[in-house]
Structure 1
Amino acid sequence: MNADNRRHNWPNNYPNYHDLRDYFDTCDRVLNIKERTAFESVVTEAQFDTDEGRWHVKTADGRNAKAKYLVVCAGFAAKRYVPDWPGVDKFKGVIHHSSFWPDDDVDVKGKKCAIIGTGATGVQVTQAWGPQAGEVKVFQRTPNLTVPMRQRDLTVEEQEQNKKWYPELLRYREHCFGGFLYTFSEKNTFDDTREEREAFYEKLWQDGGFRFWLGNYKDYLFSKEANQEAYNFWAKKQRARINDERKKDILAPLQMPHYWGIKRPCLEYAYLEQFNRPNVDIVNIKNNAIVGFDETGIKFEDGSHEDFGVICIATGFDVVTGGMTAMGLKDIYGNTLDDQWKKAAYTYLGTTIADYPNMFHLYGPQGPTLLSNGPTTIEVQGRWINDVIKYCERNGVKYINPTQEAQAEWKKKINHLSDITLFPTVKSTYMGGSKPDKAFEQTNYAGGLHNYGEDIRSVLPKFDGFNVVNNVAAAA
């Protein structure tokens, strides 16, 4: 794919839905992915037979499949989450959850609209609906500490000039904490003078993207005082964009709602400016929660009600673990992963699970996942999985199965890497906060992609932490 990838050019540095689909079509023309894909196939059960050395996979439409290896690529946001609000099905207007968004634009012209939630979807929908809708009310529990995207057009000429560096740039990403082309500063926050800090922050801010998050001073996710400095700069920049004092205090309060960067910030290009429009308002529902719906609108805890014509439910997903626990995965003893992970998730290396032989997962629990650039993490993990399978095939291995002891040690490492930071101070999506009944635990590897790659590579080729079972013929 590399040569064909270098023939592809992008319109800008943050491509949209249509641009991404064009790229996926390019990938398909080269790799013929569709020919080997069963679309609209919902896996309802999968279990490994140790005697046969095969996975048995069942789908909702009654099909069965067998495979020696099972690679779970459910992603971190495959299972949507909607609070258990009574009356949602009674609403007579237009209502969509972000996970089932229509291909065609939602018509909001002249209509009164509600956006429930201010995660990534809430931010994006606000930017899209603000200029078009008759009225927009955004319902927020916690402000999204957004950072500027800095989207810009890319010329064919500059992309062609850069393509000779692609191999080196792709390698360099894997040596950076978040898998981007930048990483944390070598300095601590207070190594610099106030003026130097201000200049450093300003450079990160103007360069945009996630630089203010994952290219900042190296101590700000560990030190409360350093984190406060970063937040003070953030609040100053964002409050200056908002005209109304009441809205300033809801969207960018002077007092931190939580430490900066321990909830994933969203990229935006004109989010806060939408609230300067007379038709767009922000409503803090932390102390007046939504309690239900009826035919015409939304009910609130204080007994009030408001009518709407269009509602966007941007309440997110059962993040990181939800996609895997919804598949009916069973270990070799018949226990379901859903039951096993109710109190805490356990993996080995963020790619395998004890008693699920020859099963691997990508961009999921206990990998760098939400603290990294997705494609970079997938490449690091995917290469490792590919190498493991190649080794097994060349050496007559029937299956590999991580030990409970190795898995427990990996869990300790995940917890330690998180506990020395500020992450455990709030129940964010990193810490199981995407839905109320999830376990409070770190679900990501917080030590950086560069260290993670070294950790998973270190167990090969000896397969430290695995029981390796050979084929009978190979063993003989």
Structure 2
Amino acid sequence: MSPGAPPASPSPPLSLDILVVGCGFGGIYQLHHFRKLGYSVKIFDAASNLGGIWYWNCYPGARVDSEVPNYELSIPELWKDWTWTEKYPGWMELRQYFEYVEEKLDVKKDIQFNTRVVGATWDEEQHEWLIEAQARMNPTGASTTVWVRARFLVLCVGFAAKPYIPNYKSLETFQGILHHTSQWPQAGLDLHGKRVGVIGTGASGVQVIQELGPEVSQLTVFQRTPNLALPMRQVKIDGDSVMNSKDSRTEMYEQRRKTVGGFFYDRHHRRGPEATPEERLAHLEQLWANGGLRFLHQNFYDLRMNQELNDEVYEFWRRKVRERIHDPIMQEKLAPTIPPHPIGVKRASLEQNYYEVFNQPNATLIDLEECPIAEMTPQGIKTADGTVHELDAIVMATGFDSLTGGITQIDFKGVDGGSIAEKWKNGVHSYLGMTSAGFPNMFFVYGPQAPTAFCNGPTCGEIQGDWIIDCIKYMATNQLTRIEAKVDAEEHWRQKIFELSAQGLWGKARSWYMGSNIPSKAVEPLNWAGGVQAYNELCMEKAKRGYEGFVLSGRP
């Protein structure tokens, strides 16, 4: 058997031009365009249906934090006839959107569901990847190994593909219901009237807490860091809403590539000190009234660079939030006098009634900085003070090994036989946030060292998707079969990531933006902080220069 051959099997590996991993926004966008170009392409996805993260996110309250029509694909066949019903769609409407995508684009015929890619090995002789996947067979649940040979491997696994569950002592002894938010039962759970504990107050924690708070008998929230959540200002919309207007839609899609955050709107053109205190206050009041991520993305240009301005904005936020919380002790826990970190340097969560939940008599907040979790018991959670909080269900809103985990959990072996997990163990090395030296013909979108966490998802997926599509077209036109990033190019890119991050306040927070939410993970900036427009222009410039920073070749 040759080094690049799979073990003997009844049938030869499936042969493709391109294998895409993941059928969320990014994967479907590329599948659609690759098919139009005539390539043989398939998607493998571990889920049982379309949607990517919106297949897995079905926990109570799950919904998107980008307002429509920002959060959709720009493919004309899709937006011309689709109508949203909410400014911020929930998971059920997003699933309906993906079913509409299927109706219009017929993507499922080229998607193999219930199939998890577990490894891939680069074949230098053939200039292609040998990919191993495990396909789950329904209804037995047994799995079978699937082998694929593909010239190109495109990873669209998303930034949150690897859930993180802390290694709590005696976790396995808990006798009640326990689920991570990303592993919620597809059939749902009835938690009405139960005693529920929620560990974590990040984005999913906020959504779960405000959804379950009014219906459970007891809600116990275990908080490490207060969430500086922003008002969503959710509204129902209909076909006559400006958010569903088809006028100038194409121009709007172009505009979102020219802003800092990948939205139709952009940061304020002035820096904070250029405005008077009265002007700053008036601007903050307007943003607060508008709601959503605009409070950060339309704020003053230097919000995340100027500590004095950031403190002023935090104080504004704190006053607004405290007005909604009755108990002074709870006010300090949820909106502390001293900022836990600069506002805007962790993922912003949008809320509708999050703070009001803590006015309810059935809600308890445990500050894990003061009293950490000691262990799990059969009855619930025991904290360091010896108290056992008896619970019927525990919700793990503990986040993800974000940006890198979805990639490193797959055993990719590159030109030297080493894995990408080994390469990135002490820090990420990529080029353009889409490739990595030693792993030819492998691309990834919405991953590390790109604008990922600082960009509207579909915008980032389409910018990177277009670049990858054009790159593969260029290679086919020029009879090229291999592309690999240069080591010095990715070193320069890594340095640029660090330089851009150092211009802001990002390092003052413990967050997945920096990898610091995962024990033993390298703490470093994991996102391009220079804005979406600058990123897009730089990537396009490298392509126009004959893919500067890469080595391209054909088969010998």
Q: Under TM normalisation by the shorter chain, which class is it?
A: over 0.9
**Residue aligning to 1:51:** 125
Asked if structure 2 preserves the Cα contact closer than 8 Å seen for 1:108 and 1:134, the reply is no
Instruction: Name the aligned partner's letter for residue 164 of structure 2.
Output: Y
**Residue aligning to 1:62:** 145
**Residue aligning to 1:412:** 495
**Residue aligning to 1:463:** 547
Partner residue of 1:231 out of 314, 321, 343: 314
Task: Measure the CA separation in 1 of the matches of 2:510 and 2:218.
Answer: 32
Asked if structure 2 preserves the Cα contact closer than 8 Å seen for 1:91 and 1:295, the reply is yes
TM-score using structure 2 length: 0.83
Q: Residue 304 of structure 1: CA displacement?
A: 2.4
Asked if structure 1 preserves the Cα contact closer than 8 Å seen for 2:223 and 2:368, the reply is yes
**Residue aligning to 1:143:** 226
Partner residue of 1:8 out of 60, 82, 86: 82
Q: In proportion to residue count, which structure has more helix?
A: 1
| Distance change in 2, residues 1:160/1:82 (3 Å) | closer
| Distance change in 2, residues 1:161/1:293 (3 Å) | closer
**Residue aligning to 2:344:** 261
Task: Measure the CA separation in 2 of the matches of 1:349 and 1:17.
Answer: 31
Task: Measure the CA separation in 2 of the matches of 1:220 and 1:287.
Answer: 30
**Residue aligning to 1:185:** 268
Q: Deviation string for 1:55-88 (max 9, x for gaps)?
A: 1100133211010010011111000111111222
Task: Measure the CA separation in 2 of the matches of 1:193 and 1:420.
Answer: 24
Q: Report whether the alignment pairs 1:384 with 2:458.
A: no
Task: Measure the CA separation in 2 of the matches of 1:394 and 1:29.
Answer: 32
Q: Deviation string for 1:201-225 (max 9, x for gaps)?
A: 0111111111111111111211111
Q: Residue 399 of structure 1: CA displacement?
A: 0.8
Asked if structure 1 preserves the Cα contact closer than 8 Å seen for 2:163 and 2:399, the reply is yes
**Residue aligning to 1:75:** 158
Task: Measure the CA separation in 1 of the matches of 2:541 and 2:408.
Answer: 28
Q: Residue 109 of structure 1: CA displacement?
A: 2.0
Q: Residue 278 of structure 1: CA displacement?
A: 1.2
Q: Deviation string for 1:266-300 (max 9, x for gaps)?
A: 01111111111111122211121112112111111
Task: Measure the CA separation in 1 of the matches of 2:454 and 2:150.
Answer: 32
| Residues 347-356 or 84-93, more deviating | 84-93
Task: Measure the CA separation in 2 of the matches of 1:213 and 1:91.
Answer: 40
Q: Report whether the alignment pairs 1:347 with 2:430.
A: yes
Q: Residue 41 of structure 1: CA displacement?
A: 1.3
- SS at structure 2 position matched to 1:460: helix
- SS at structure 2 position matched to 1:458: helix
After TM superposition, list the pairs within 5 Å mapping 1:287-326 onto structure 2. 287-326=370-409
| Residues 117-126 or 95-104, more deviating | 95-104
Partner residue of 2:534 out of 451, 466, 476: 451
**Residue aligning to 1:212:** 295
Q: Residue 302 of structure 1: CA displacement?
A: 2.6
Q: Residue 426 of structure 1: CA displacement?
A: 2.5
Q: Deviation string for 1:297-321 (max 9, x for gaps)?
A: 1111233222111111111110110
After TM superposition, list the pairs within 5 Å mapping 1:94-109 onto structure 2. 94-109=177-192
**Residue aligning to 1:175:** 258
| Distance change in 2, residues 1:161/1:9 (3 Å) | closer
Q: Report whether the alignment pairs 1:198 with 2:198.
A: no
Q: Residue 161 of structure 1: CA displacement?
A: 7.0
Q: Residue 184 of structure 1: CA displacement?
A: 1.1
Asked if structure 2 preserves the Cα contact closer than 8 Å seen for 1:115 and 1:138, the reply is yes
**Residue aligning to 1:117:** 200
| Distance change in 2, residues 1:35/1:270 (3 Å) | same
- SS at structure 1 position matched to 2:262: coil
Q: Report whether the alignment pairs 1:31 with 2:87.
A: no
Instruction: Name the aligned partner's letter for residue 101 of structure 1.
Output: W
Instruction: Name the aligned partner's letter for residue 488 of structure 2.
Output: E
Task: Measure the CA separation in 1 of the matches of 2:468 and 2:119.
Answer: 22
Q: Report whether the alignment pairs 1:363 with 2:432.
A: no
Which blocks of at least 5 consecutive residues in structure 2 are unaligned? 1-74, 135-143
* C-alpha RMSD of the superposition: 1.2
- SS at structure 1 position matched to 2:164: coil
Task: Measure the CA separation in 2 of the matches of 1:203 and 1:154.
Answer: 21
Asked if structure 1 preserves the Cα contact closer than 8 Å seen for 2:500 and 2:529, the reply is yes
- SS at structure 2 position matched to 1:67: strand
- SS at structure 1 position matched to 2:360: coil
Task: Measure the CA separation in 1 of the matches of 2:82 and 2:347.
Answer: 30
Instruction: Name the aligned partner's letter for residue 443 of structure 1.
Output: L
Identical columns (%) = 38
Task: Measure the CA separation in 2 of the matches of 1:281 and 1:303.
Answer: 17
TM-score using structure 1 length: 0.97
| Distance change in 2, residues 1:212/1:160 (3 Å) | closer
Instruction: Name the aligned partner's letter for residue 152 of structure 1.
Output: V
Q: Report whether the alignment pairs 1:393 with 2:467.
A: no
Q: Deviation string for 1:329-381 (max 9, x for gaps)?
A: 11111111111111100100011111111111010011100011111011110
Instruction: Name the aligned partner's letter for residue 480 of structure 2.
Output: V
Task: Measure the CA separation in 2 of the matches of 1:303 and 1:275.
Answer: 23
Q: Report whether the alignment pairs 1:21 with 2:105.
A: no
Instruction: Name the aligned partner's letter for residue 282 of structure 1.
Output: L
Q: Residue 160 of structure 1: CA displacement?
A: 8.6
**Residue aligning to 1:330:** 413
Specify which structure has the bigger relative contact order, considering alpha-carbon pairs within 8 angstroms and separated by 6 or more residues.
1
Q: Residue 114 of structure 1: CA displacement?
A: 0.5
- SS at structure 2 position matched to 1:163: coil
Task: Measure the CA separation in 1 of the matches of 2:344 and 2:190.
Answer: 35
| Residues 293-302 or 395-404, more deviating | 293-302
Q: Deviation string for 1:211-246 (max 9, x for gaps)?
A: 111111111211111110110111011111111111
Task: Measure the CA separation in 2 of the matches of 1:78 and 1:295.
Answer: 29
